[in-house]
Amino acid sequence: MFRKLLVLISGNALGSVLVFLRNIVLARMIGVEDFGIAATFAMATAVIEMAAQLGLNQLIVQADDGDDPDLQKGLQGFQLVRGLILAGVMVACAQLIADFMRIGHVAWAFQVLALSRVFVALLHFDMYRMQRKMRYFPLMLVNNLGPGLSLFALWPLSWFYDDYRVALYAILTQEFLRLVFSHLVAERPYRVAFNRAVIAKCLSFGWPLMLNGAILFMVFHGEKLVVGRELGIEVLALYALAVTLTMVPMMILVRTIEPFFLPQQAAAKSDPVRFATLTYVGIEANMFGGLVVIATTLLLSVWLVVPIFGPDFAGITLFLPWLAMVEALRSTKGGVAMASMAQARTQNALIANMCRIIALSISWWLVVNMDHGVYTIIGGALVGEFVGVLVSLVMLRSQVGISLRPLIGSYACNGALLLALISHFISVQVLAQPVIDPMISTGICAALFVVAMASLREFWRHMAARQATAYQ
């Protein structure tokens, strides 16, 4: 079991570090304004991709017939059509996207970026199918070689360009290499089919995820849109980099936890007792991920930001603690959604994420009409994620019938830690005279962090047992 975890963690850590390093190099290579434009490329790709996200890679893991070659052919055919449509939409909307972000002169770049959706459309699904038996090395290989080689491509690209175009062509290089390596690691030949039964299955499983994809765009990038449009491209550059720094450890853990626990939960979905136990374990594993994100982000903000990115980016250290708490809450919510997905109840994430969108709408109104700043956006995100956690738990209880009582202790301890952190940073960053000495409040937060980690009893018990079973 730990060997599989090691492959996942090391592979995901390497991939995230490579993307992180690419952002560092880009930030120093092209400057704040061009880095802000480059950030819009990720947002544009996300809004197109997430608007039609059907979770096909998760369906092949969750479905009982996920090993069936006919199902895989149908999924690859569906993915091909979907990707080509998305590429066309991106080309058609390029000028609209650029004008909305008030950078109309780079509309051509968004049209070129549409080629990345064609590369995604042609991916081979064998690397996802192998996760059913907890074989993760092929997926890790594909996910690391693309970012790694695109990082090294920055230097030859910089010989020809000295602005945002470096980022554009680096993204295209990464997606093309992912496509190539997905075929190289595959065991089955690449085939596509257009089967009505498979299409119906994809739509039944994926329509909530498709709607959730549109919402996830707002979750991941909606705040950036507001910041960039209302507060300026330079503020967007700082905010986008702060979000990236909190998401680096989060994505490492999410991409480790879901592939590791989803196959186990899906294989146990017909065994109520076993499934309930794995649900508690999966939720607490995501709590563990949130705690790790908080710890790593706080350490990062203290020691690494200014030396790595330079003094022009020093302002992001004020955002990082708050964004880390947002990611911790989102991680907890993701653990609940994962259990629902194992039962093909994909509506959980959709409804829970609506809370974040409502909060963002209120924050946007405050920024536009009341001259509020970035902290209003972050505060709205915190409130939205907290309410989303509550909604997702209620839905899990009503949909699947799992008792939430075994999770009371871990939720209480994690909640106490978040309240202590919020009080500490309000005192340090907002109040002219801290209510409690910062050293004392830091000690309280550290003690509560240890207690929160210790409260994850189901997670630690499962890991100590070293038992991980998925589809045979």
348 Ramachandran zone, left/alpha/beta (phi>0; psi -120 to 50): alpha
When pLDDT is cut at 50, 70 and 90, the band that residue 455 belongs to is very high
pLDDT for position 332: 86
Mean pLDDT, all residues of the chain: 80
pLDDT for position 35: 76
pLDDT for position 453: 93
Residue 411 reports pLDDT greater than 70: yes
Which tens digit of pLDDT belongs to each residue from 72-117?
888 888 888 888 888 888 888 888 878 877 777 888 888 888 898 8
Q: What is the Cα Rg of the chain in Å?
A: 22
pLDDT for position 380: 86
The position carrying tokens 């360009």 is 161
Between residues 219 and 362, the one the model is more confident about: 362
Residue 51 reports pLDDT greater than 60: no
pLDDT for position 265: 79
pLDDT for position 414: 93
Residue 471 reports pLDDT greater than 60: no
Least confident residue range of 91-100, 140-149, 210-219, 407-416 = 210-219
Mean pLDDT of 264-283: 83
The whole-angstrom separation of Cα 272 and Cα 260 is 19
The whole-angstrom separation of Cα 290 and Cα 254 is 10
pLDDT more than 90, % of the chain: 9
The whole-angstrom separation of Cα 20 and Cα 15 is 9
Which tens digit of pLDDT belongs to each residue from 230-244?
777 777 777 777 887
Residue 470 reports pLDDT greater than 70: no
Distances (CA, A) of 218 to 215, 221, 388, 423, 425: 5, 5, 14, 27, 26
Which tens digit of pLDDT belongs to each residue from 360-374?
888 878 877 766 677
Continuous segment of H or E residues that includes residue 7:
helix 2-50
Between residues 285 and 203, the one the model is more confident about: 285
When pLDDT is cut at 50, 70 and 90, the band that residue 287 belongs to is very high
Between residues 468 and 124, the one the model is more confident about: 124
pLDDT for position 418: 92
Residue 395 reports pLDDT greater than 80: yes
pLDDT for position 375: 80
Burial of 466 (0-12, 13-18, 19+ CB in 10 A): exposed
pLDDT for position 413: 93
When pLDDT is cut at 50, 70 and 90, the band that residue 156 belongs to is confident
Least confident residue range of 313-317, 383-387, 430-434 = 430-434
Between residues 57 and 285, the one the model is more confident about: 285
The whole-angstrom separation of Cα 61 and Cα 182 is 17
The whole-angstrom separation of Cα 321 and Cα 258 is 25
pTM summary value = 0.69
Residue positions counted in the chain = 472
pLDDT for position 469: 63
Which tens digit of pLDDT belongs to each residue from 166-206?
888 888 888 899 899 999 988 889 998 887 887 787 777 76
pLDDT for position 98: 80
